[in-house]
Amino acid sequence: MSKILVYDLSLAALTEQVVSWGEPAFRAKQIWQGLYRHFYESPEQFSNLPKTLREKMSESLEFGGLEPTLKLDSSDGQTRKMLFRLHDDRQIEAVLMRYDKRRTLCISTQVGCAMGCTFCATGQMGFTRHLSSGEIVAQVLFYARLLAAEGSNVTNVVVMGMGEPFHNYDNTMEAMDRLNDAEGYNFGARRFTISTSGLVPAIRQFASEKRQFNLAVSLHAASNDLRESMMPVNKRYKIEELVQACRDYVAETGRRITFEWALIDGINDSPEVADRLAGLLKGLLCHVNAIPLNPTSGYKGRPTNPQRAQAFKAVLEQAGIPCTIRMRRGIDIQAGCGQLATVASLDVVKN
Ligand code: SAH
Ligand code: SF4
């Protein structure tokens, strides 16, 4: 019998498991707190539990799930990327970015991605499989342990690593809910940001479920022709339909939405494009996060230069749309947005 990954279990499921072993239900909560408050990663660490229970835990439950196989630190001194091996030998990546007081994690939800965005390394590698909720949770716990050892903690989590979180909707939401649980890790819902390439039905579902996680939408183009050439998802959900779903999300939740925009030289960075974008987003409670394109092996486009990026921002701001030009982080270790792909990271080691 293969073991169950302990991070795949909700508190209710863990309680059922513990009761099926003939143990009192309150033991489940003790295990829960050991996992999510003390970050225990093996049954032996649960010294508050009877030995017989710890034995049952080791027989039936898997406490690893992610085996770190490679650690890459950026020359900026602030960015670390880890490569993890999963139980089936597939690999994923998760990144820690240290800002002034913030400790932000960028985590993955799939091995690869099915959406095929041309400029993204994960899209270029294709789709292998969804991550389970526990495999998503385990990425956060890995860094929570690392930071706890230095007296620090995770302050923000962005679901912007490998994969399209809304293509793996249920597991992603379960993972976030588990980390949000007040009796466990108690990570504030508003400290999570989920980014989607624009799966309209999932955006509508997310709006109706009223979770407090922040939502970001990867837009990158303001016309269907251009967006379709960069993001195949636009063939299914056109820009007008996507922006309408975003407007409805804001109306329903009262929450601001973030639009992501990779600035690509000569492609989507002209003042005319910025003007068109401003028209599209007029009156919408939003913010545009623009980031000069990060290089990937399978895409020829070049990043916009800083002057041109500032001009793009100025057009939006004149139209009343707040825009930030984001710093590029961890480019040397291919830990920047859209650079996550296990094949690419192994190349870094070889070089
Ligand atoms: N699949 C989700 C989340 C992961 S990608 C999504 O697409 O939204 C995280 C962000 O990085 C997205 O906004 C994505 O469009 C952007 N991105 C992808 N490739 C990039 C690149 N080469 N340079 C800059 N940003 C990129
Ligand atoms: Fe997938 Fe996002 Fe990359 Fe597009 S940008 S291929 S949706 S990970």
The closest-lying atom of ligand 2 relative to the alpha carbon of residue 121 is: 3
Give pTM, 2 decimals.
0.95
Please list every protein residue whose CB sits less than 6 Å from any atom of ligand 2. Answer: 113, 115-117, 120, 122-123, 163-164, 197, 218, 338
Delimiting residues of CATH 1.10.150.530 domain(s) in the chain:
4-62
User: Between 3.40.1160.10, 1.10.3720.10, 1.25.40.10, 1.10.150.530, what CATH number should domain 4-62 receive?
Assistant: 1.10.150.530
Annotate 278-317 with b (16+ C-beta within 10 A) or e (fewer): bebbeebebbbbbbbbbbbeebebebbeeebbeebbebbe
Query: How many C-beta neighbours within 10 Å does residue 244 have?
Result: 14
Query: How many C-beta neighbours within 10 Å does residue 22 have?
Result: 9
The closest-lying atom of ligand 1 relative to the alpha carbon of residue 260 is: 13
Average pLDDT over residues 320-336: 85
Give dist(CA 259, CA 270) in Å, integer: 17
Q: What's the pLDDT at 346?
A: 43
Delimiting residues of CATH 3.20.20.70 domain(s) in the chain:
67-350
Pairing of strands 61-62, 156-159: unpaired
Pairing of strands 91-98, 103-106: antiparallel
Per-residue pLDDT for 351 more than 60? no
Give per-residue pLDDT as tens, 55-107: 999 999 999 999 999 999 999 889 999 999 999 999 999 999 998 899 999 99
Assess whether the C-beta atom of 337 lies below 6 angstroms from ligand 1: yes
Of 107, 131, 218, 242, the one to substitute when testing ligand 2's pocket (max ligand atoms within 8 A of C-beta) is 218
Is residue 135 within 8 Å of 66, Cβ to Cβ? yes
Q: What's the pLDDT at 20?
A: 97
Confidence of residue 344 (pLDDT cuts 50, 70, 90): very low
CATH homologous superfamily of domain 67-350?
Aldolase class I (3.20.20.70)
Query: How many C-beta neighbours within 10 Å does residue 149 have?
Result: 9
Of 127, 164, 228, the one to substitute when testing ligand 2's pocket (max ligand atoms within 8 A of C-beta) is 164
Confidence of residue 342 (pLDDT cuts 50, 70, 90): low
* Nearest Cα to Cα of residue 202 among 127, 288, 289, 109: 109
Q: What's the pLDDT at 1?
A: 60
Q: What's the pLDDT at 341?
A: 74
Per-residue pLDDT for 307 more than 70? yes
Q: What's the pLDDT at 3?
A: 94
Confidence of residue 348 (pLDDT cuts 50, 70, 90): very low
Written as six digits, the tokens of 314 are 């100025």
Give per-residue pLDDT as tens, 147-177: 999 999 999 999 999 999 999 999 999 999 9
